Amino acid sequence: MGKKIRIRKKTLFVWIIFVLVILILYFVNRDWFDISFLKGFVDDNKFFVIVIYLFVLSFIGLTFIPSTPFAIAGVLMFSPLEAYTFNLLGIITSSFVVYNFTRFLRLDTWIESKYPDKIVKVRNALRRKEMLIIAGWSFFPAVPTDLITYVASSLRIPYWKCMVGILIGEGALNAFYIFSVDFFI
C-alpha cells in the first residue's frame, strides 16, 4: 500500500511540474502556442468537430482516461461556454455509458466478489450521503469520476442521484478548468 501512495505522490508531482513548465513556456514565448490553424479548421468544420468531440467524450469513461485534457482542448476549439456545455454533455453521456456498461457486463457481480470488504465500506458510506460523496469524488481531479460511476452502478445507486452528484462535482471542476484556461489564453 505504501508503494502505491508513493507512486501517486510522484505522479501528482510530475503532473504539477508539467503544468508549471507549460505555463512558464506560455508566458515566456506565446508564439509557440499559436493555435490559429486549429480555430480555422474548427470554424470550417464545426459540426464535424463537435460530433467527433462529443463521441470521444462519450466513450473515454470506459478507458479511465481523464477528461481534463479534453476540457482544455475544448477551450482551444470553442468558446468557453460552448466548451463547458460540450464537456458536460460528454460527461453525462460517458457516465450513462459507464453506468449501464457495468451492469450489462456483470462487472457489478465481479467487483462484489473480488472486493467484498471494500464494497461493504463504500456501500455504507454511500448509503448515508450518496450524492455528496459522488459530487466530492467527481470534483477531486486526482481520482477518475468513471470509477465512482462504476461503483455507484454496482451498488445500485439510482442513476439520477449518480448523475446529479457527477454534474455538481464535474460541473464545478470543468467550470474552473475551462474558464481559468480561457482567462490565460
Domain ranges of the chain: 45-184
- pLDDT averaged over every residue in the chain: 81
- Distance from C-alpha of 66 to C-alpha of 141, rounded to nearest angstrom: 9
Confidence of residue 164 (pLDDT cuts 50, 70, 90): very high
**Most distant CA pair in the chain, distance:** 54
Q: Are 132 and 89 in contact (CB under 8 A)?
A: no
Residue 15 has a pLDDT of 76
Helix ranges restricted to H, the chain: 2-28, 36-44, 46-59, 68-77, 80-104, 107-114, 116-128, 130-139, 145-154, 159-184
C-alpha distance from residue 84 to each of 3, 99, 122 (Å) = 37, 22, 31
Q: Are 99 and 162 in contact (CB under 8 A)?
A: yes
Residues of the chain with pLDDT > 70: what percent?
Answer: 91
User: Residue 168 pLDDT > 70, yes or no?
Assistant: yes
- Distance from C-alpha of 144 to C-alpha of 124, rounded to nearest angstrom: 21
**Whole-model pTM over 0.85:** no
Cα–chain center distance at 46: 23
Q: Which of 155, 153, 151, 121 has its CA nearest to residue 137? A: 151
* C-alpha cell belonging to residue 90: 460528454
Residue 31 burial (CB count, 10 A): 5
Residue 73 has a pLDDT of 82
Q: Are 152 and 118 in contact (CB under 8 A)?
A: no
* C-alpha cell belonging to residue 44: 470550417
Residue 1 has a pLDDT of 57
* C-alpha cell belonging to residue 136: 466530492
Cα–chain center distance at 34: 26
